Every structure is written in C-alpha cells, then in structure tokens.
Amino acid sequence: MPYFVGAGCSDVTLAALLGALDVVDIGMILLDRNMQACFVNQRCADLCLGGEELEADGVGFDTILRHLTANVMRDLPGSEAEASLAEFERAVREGDVLPVMVDLPDGRRLLLRSTPCPDGGRLLTCCDITPLKVEEEARERARHEAESMSAEQRFIAETLEEQASHLATLAESADENARRVERMNKLLQHEIAERRELAARLRRMATTDGLTGTLNRARFLALAQRALTRARHLGQGMAVLMLDIDHFKQINDCFGHQAGDAALKHFVDRLRAGIREHDLLGRLGGEEFAIALTTVDGARAFEVAERLRLMVAGSPVRHGGQTFNMSVSIGIATPRESDESIARILARADARLYAAKQAGRNQVCAAMD
C-alpha cells in the first residue's frame, strides 16, 4: 500500500483507488500546497527512492530530493546529476510542466515530470521509458540503413545514365544491376525480418520477466483481471495462488546469486510442469509468484497447490556441482461475489500465504471464503 495517505482513507472506494495506483507502472508523488508529500505509490519507491519506506509525518520536497540524489543519481557524474536535479527542483517549485529525462549508468532511462494541481500542490511522476529509448535507437539505426540503401540506388541510376550510349555495356550493366537488385531485395527482406524480430523482442520485454520467462507483474494482473471477468460472465470457477520460495535469501547467501537465479528458473520449470497451458503464471517480484487457475473450484485449486508443493520439495536444484533442496509456501483464494478486481483476490491469497509461512512454511493454506 502507499506510504502516504491523508484523512478520509476509510472510504472503500478511495482505498481501492489507492491500491490500484500502487500497482501501476508510473511512480507518483503527490505534494500539497506546502510542498509536503501526502502520497507515494510503490512504483515510485522502487524507481526513485531505492525501495525505501518514508515516514508519513514531516516529509517534505527537500527530503524527497535527497532520496532522488541518493538513489537515482548516485552513479551519475556530479555536474550532470546536479544540473538535472536543479532543473527538476526549479520546475516543481515554480509550477512548470517540465519533463526531465535521466539516463542511468545501467542503460535505463527515467522520465521525471511535475504537474501543478488546482489546490496549489504538485503531482510528481516518474516513469521508466527504457523500452522507448531502445525503440528510438532501433529506429535511428534503421533510418541510417535506409539512407545508405538510398545512396546506393542513386549511384546505380547515375551509372546507368552515363552508359546509355553503349548498348553492349548497357546490357551487361543491366544484368549486373538485376543481380544487385536481387541482392538488395534479399537484404531488404532480411531487414524486414530483423525488424519483426525486434518488435517481438520488445513485446516480450514489455510483458514477461527477463530471468524466468513468466508474465511480469503488470501483464499478469491484466490477464488475470480479464480471466476473472470471463469467469464471471460464463459462471465458471477460478482460483488465485500466491507462492513464495521458503528461505530464498539463505540460498543466495550460501550458494551465491547465480545459484539463486538457477533456483528461480528451476522453480518455474516445476510450476509449469504442474499446471495447464492456459493457466496464468507470473512473477510479482523477487521470489514471489502468482498463478491464476481457471475453471476450478476451491477444492480442485487446493489439490493443484499441494501437487506443486510436493513437486518443488521433491526436486533438488543442481547448479555448478552443488545440489540443494528448496520448498514453497502457498496461499489460495477464490473470488467472492463482491470482488470486482483481481487485486482483492490476490490480497486474500497473500494473507493465506503469510499464514502458511507463520505455520512453519512448506505448506498450503486456503482462504475460507
């Protein structure tokens, strides 16, 4: 949930809205007219504040600037960081609608924007626009390649015009040009195929987790919401599973982060082997995953979860000559009549996951709906 919430948050609709804002891809900070923060969503904390939780009382814009400096611009050259931050601070304080782009050393690009509010406050947003940066660079490369091809075509035309009076040479040149056009057509087809492959890669980057190949958080929530709507329309059952690898930090500490990555991939392979092709599997973050099972009731969902738990516990991870076991805790929730969003079902499944952890881990706990 957000770090800053003002008065009146007992309202159910407002709470649902704040919960939705907490899972969007755009980071948000809402400042009041006194430049005090009254709302920060989770995405902003992840992108701009290093994942740190700020205390709600007395957090002003100056404090947020210090966090931006410490977490977003810490590896940038001093003068570049100061200039970007100073321009953003000026825009916020003077009420300008001014976007500021920051290119990070790891290749990511962030877009910071300040928008004045009618009550004198400010809405600060932070968005990771790295995919747009990658697409822009790809378009620039394609443009240069197209210009080079155009220059070669002009050269061919000029050559043909100069040799028009020499019929024999013209015929020979025509044959050569025909072969060159064929080669150019092949190059063009190859370029088209590369662009299609690039577009497919960009779509995968936008919808899947880079390490495990599962759906990313945003894509999982979108498809699970669609599945919930379809299940309601058809009168079918549905269940959501929240899964968390037990003591995953110990795996990283004892065997290294590469072994931890191997464990995550192995874990996903076990999950895929235990669910149907049309069931949804997503990585929500770290070692936490979610599964949306369609056309099932609570009893069937518990059977599936128990089977997954046994598959994980009974399949050791092998990496770099090392072998270690791992287990998973699972929470289950099914839709209620009042559930309009998948987030509410996920929240109940997450609560049962916490109960499974508290009860000793390596077990399944279902919500009593």
Catalytic residue check, 287: yes
Q: Could you tell me which residues come within 8 angstroms of residue 149 by beta carbon, excluding any fewer than 6 positions away?
A: 184, 187, 188
Active-site annotation holder among 287, 288, 306, 340: 287
Q: Which two tokens stand for residue 64?
A: 């947020």
CA trace torsion 319, 323, 324, 327 (10° rounding): 70
| Cα-Cα end-to-end distance for the chain | 23
From start to end of 210-337, where are the E strands? Answer: 238-245, 280-285, 288-294, 317-319, 322-324, 328-333
User: Which DSSP letter does residue 332 get?
Assistant: E
List residues bridging with 293 in a β-sheet: 239
Cα 169 to chain centroid distance, Å, stands at 60
Alpha helices in 126-166 (DSSP H): 130-162
**What are the CA-CA distances from residue 217 to residues 135, 251, 289 (Å)?**
22, 23, 9
CA distance 284 to 353: 14
Active-site annotation, residues? 287
